[in-house]
A and B are shown apart, each in its own frame.
Chain A
């Protein structure tokens, strides 16, 4: 399937971040329409459900269902947290939205707020994204100035405050409950669930947390209608998705494809194949947390369930392509080092396990490994991947590390012969 630019329709216009230019291309039309027509909030949630919009931050949870979990008759304020922490290695698709069409995100966030009855939204952007922060802050200021945010938007009586908040360097703050703590000015330790954020989230109030891309899709869903949007994708995964491709391909970058497209086509047709005519060795398909696919396993469709069936995950849709020259034990070690650096440290399995895997990687790379170390890696991975951790970071380290060893055992062993 070729590229299909729904979400990214206007990304190529250099002036799209300017409010007037965005308005000329239809920005804020959906917000204006639902406020003018006084569309029932539930009707918007139903459209999003019909669209089969799944969370694009990695877990794929159905967005409409998440919104309907927020209690209705509460006298507490409710909040939206837009997750723009984007720190999963390989992932850079939210940045493309933040930089190229910030008003699309703001409108999508506003539609979510209207549907759920929220009057304050926080856009949490990772600290290292200096340029995206500047662009989004400007876009929010412009939207306030034009009366699209703030009090009594379009004379509808609907109020919405949007506050841009930035992280300070910590991958774990992309995990939704760590993000809440970080927003509240605490260290980014994930929280034990239940209670779930929909019931008790930011500032102990009901909270929706969605990824930047998820919320941006909502504008297109209301433009097209939920059912028409879904049909672009597959039965269970509606619409399109942004895929970020990096590593050894001729044309790395962000591409928008219908859900259910082929990973093989993405790499070989759309991205021009392996760089310099080299042979493909492997693909990490959905960010560093997802198990690697060998060259002969990449003929899979880009859908949440199909990827699970292939023993991996769609994750954030970030494919890292590795050619024949890459050392898998080195990638294993870089991966474990990352999680060891980013573990928040509150669960023993994760804190100790990530560091142990990293040290085993270093030992093997240094030529001091023994075959028994590979069994130790698999055993550690199993312990980290249980259900006992507060958040999925421990498992997110275990899964790819296990797959590297299982699928490339000989390469690890070859570093041990001496």
Chain B
């Protein structure tokens, strides 16, 4: 059975005190759970529900709605490539094709070694620097195929490059 670490439990308790309703702490607590467990599956939903003293189905309803809540384990490096207008006209599809050909994954998939997962995402609010991608929490901008492959190679070697 999954459990929250002591630090996470304390963080969650403090959050429940911060808002006029306990429910308002749900989304921040889901992010804590995601940090602890990597993704939110049925078991994690139950752990959250137990901790917050709410029903598991109300956790499910909310976790299902938000795209940043992972329902399946992402790769160590979760590639979020923007495919909205400004990135599309700056050749974002080329990057997506490369990922498909070279890493063998499409939207929603993860590589066999669990190193990379891919998600097509909507506008990341960095359109002046298109095309862009987030890798976990790091934004990479003005991606050419050359810059993109350099980033992927660095990640394969365990290095998180600067943008």
Report which A residues bind B (CB closer than 8 A): 77, 86-92, 94-95, 126-131, 163, 165-171, 182-188, 203, 244-248, 252-254, 284, 288, 318, 320, 322, 326, 330-331, 334-335, 338, 341-342
Contacts and interface: CB of A to CB of B under 8 A. Distances in A.
B103 interface: no
A90 B66 CA distance: 21
B102 interface: no
B122 A338 contact: yes
A187 B59 CA distance: 10
Contacts of B124: 128
Nearest to B125: A92
Contact of A89 (B19, B25, B27, B85): B85
Contact of B127 (A126, A183, A252): A252
A186 B62 contact: yes
A323 to B, nearest CB: 8
B108 interface: no
Contact of A254 (B31, B61, B128): B128
Given A128-B134, A331-B85, 20 more contacts: A87-B122, A89-B85, A89-B123, A89-B127, A90-B123, A128-B80, A129-B125, A130-B134, A166-B27, A168-B27, A170-B65, A184-B24, A185-B21, A186-B62, A188-B66, A203-B21, A246-B86, A246-B127, A247-B86, A254-B128
Contact of A185 (B24, B88, B122): B24
Contacts of A247: 85-86, 89-90, 127, 130
B25 to A, nearest CB: 7
B71 to A, nearest CB: 12
A90 B125 CA distance: 7
B52 to A, nearest CB: 9
Contacts of B123: 87-91, 288, 338
27 contacts: A87-B123, A89-B127, A90-B86, A90-B123, A92-B125, A128-B68, A165-B27, A166-B28, A166-B31, A167-B66, A168-B31, A169-B69, A171-B122, A184-B21, A185-B24, A185-B62, A187-B65, A203-B21, A247-B89, A247-B130, A254-B128, A320-B85, A326-B89, A330-B88, A331-B88, A334-B85, A335-B85
A248 to B, nearest CB: 7
B96 interface: no
Contact of B23 (A129, A186, A254): A186
B158 interface: no
A165 B25 CA distance: 9
B79 interface: no
Interface of B: 18-21, 23-28, 30-31, 61-62, 64-69, 80, 83-86, 88-90, 121-130, 134, 137-139
A126 B122 CA distance: 12
Contact of B125 (A95, A185, A335): A95
A244 B122 contact: no
Given A163-B18, A334-B84, A168 B125 contact: no
A341 B89 contact: no
A170 B127 contact: no
Contacts of B80: 128
Contacts of B137: 130
A86 B124 CA distance: 9
Contacts of A320: 85-86, 127
Contact of B67 (A89, A168, A335): A168
A86 B122 CA distance: 12
A322 B113 CA distance: 40
List the 5 closest A-B pairs by CB distance, nearest first: A169-B68, A246-B127, A169-B67, A168-B66, A185-B26
B110 to A, nearest CB: 18
A281 to B, nearest CB: 10
A259 B83 CA distance: 31
Nearest to A326: B89
Contacts of A334: 83-85, 88
A261 to B, nearest CB: 18
A77 B21 CA distance: 13
B62 A86 contact: no
Give the interface centre of A187, A188, A203 by most chain B CB atoms within 10 Å. A187
A86 B125 contact: yes
A171 B139 CA distance: 19
Given A92-B127, A128-B124, A334-B84, A185 B23 contact: yes
Contacts of B88: 330-331, 334
Nearest to A126: B125
